[in-house]
Amino acid sequence: MIAGALGWIRADFKQHVRRLKELGLTISLDVGYRLSPRGAAYLAAVQDRDSGSPPKRRPRSPMSSPGARLAEPRGAAAEQPR
């Protein structure tokens, strides 16, 4: 159990993991958790910062650019009131 290995009380650990999930940094599995892609990018940035080396440039996904939107289903734009 991760909480015990870290010397944390289980309820406190779960509260912190829930907060990380709210931030989009973890994904809940049937048993346990894993880092989301966003969590992995954050962890890499923190490790780069703490190592003193310049941050690595990561390719941007189309959805990470400002103003990016999910595609609307056909006819959805016409159905929405303005």
In the chain, how many domains are there?
Answer: 1
- 56's CB contacts (< 8 A; 6+ apart) are 44, 48
Model pTM above 0.85: no
**Residue 70 located in a structural domain:** no
pLDDT at 58 exceeding the cut of 50: yes
**Residue 26 located in a structural domain:** yes
**Residue 28 located in a structural domain:** yes
Share of the chain above pLDDT 70, in %: 62
Residue 36 pLDDT class (50, 70, 90 cuts): very high
**Residue 61 located in a structural domain:** no
**Residue 7 located in a structural domain:** yes
**Residue 58 located in a structural domain:** no
Range of the structural domain that residue 39 is part of:
1-52
Task: Please say whether the dihedral angle defined by the alpha carbons of residues 81, 65, 40 and 23, taken in this order, is positive or negative.
Answer: negative
46, containing H or E segment: helix 37-51
Strand residues in 4-79 grouped as ranges (E): 26-28, 33-35
